[in-house]
């Protein structure tokens, strides 16, 4: 077997703890890869809270698609979406990063992306917004939306 790994055979993922970029060979994605810097599991299947600094690593520089939930602690529909997003993160850990941006704490990010209502979900692929959805969704609707957007 050829041990050489080509760039197309790997995904670039931001570590959920230290936000370093980690190259993960696709063939090893299900083996719970660890960050060489901080030893955290990089494809943990748990939503990651982002701020201005960590947003760039996850949504702009990583090649793994990132679903960002723009939310606020006082928002009822946002709280209803939380378990749906937790399940989505757990079900798709090697295909998608789920991230959360608290719009009360990260007002510059919310303004940068024109967030007018919450929850708003934005799906990024390689630094580009590829889909956006405002309002709460159930798990089945979210899954269909993601499948369509990711092709």
Q: Which two tokens stand for residue 34?
A: 């660890």
Rounded to whole angstroms, how far apart are CA atoms 72 and 118?
7
Q: Look at residues 88, 113, 92, 90 and name the one whose alpha carbon lies nearest to residue 103.
A: 113
Report, in angstroms and rounded to the nearest whole number, the Rg of the chain calculated over CA atoms: 15
Neighbours of 109 (CB within 10 A): 19
Query: Which one is catalytic: 15, 18, 38, 75?
Result: 75
Q: Is 18 designated active site?
A: no
Query: Which one is catalytic: 15, 18, 38, 78?
Result: 78
Q: Is 15 designated active site?
A: no
Give catalytic residue positions. 75, 78
């Amino acid at each position: 077997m050829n041990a050489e790994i080509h760039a197309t055979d790997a995904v670039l993922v931001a570590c959920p703890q230290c936000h370093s970029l980690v190259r993960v060979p696709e063939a090893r994605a299900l083996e719970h890869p660890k960050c060489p810097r901080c030893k955290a599991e990089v494809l943990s299947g748990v939503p990651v809270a982002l701020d201005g600094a960590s947003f760039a690593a996850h949504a702009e520089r990583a090649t793994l698609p990132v679903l960002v939930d723009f939310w606020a602690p006082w928002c009822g529909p946002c709280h209803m979406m939380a378990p749906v997003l937790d399940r989505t993160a757990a079900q798709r850990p090697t295909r998608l990063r789920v991230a959360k941006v608290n719009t009360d704490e990260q007002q510059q990010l919310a303004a940068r992306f024109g967030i007018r209502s919450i929850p708003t979900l934005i799906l990024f692929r390689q630094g580009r917004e590829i889909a956006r959805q405002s309002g709460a969704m159930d798990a089945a609707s979210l899954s269909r939306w993601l499948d369509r957007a990711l092709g």
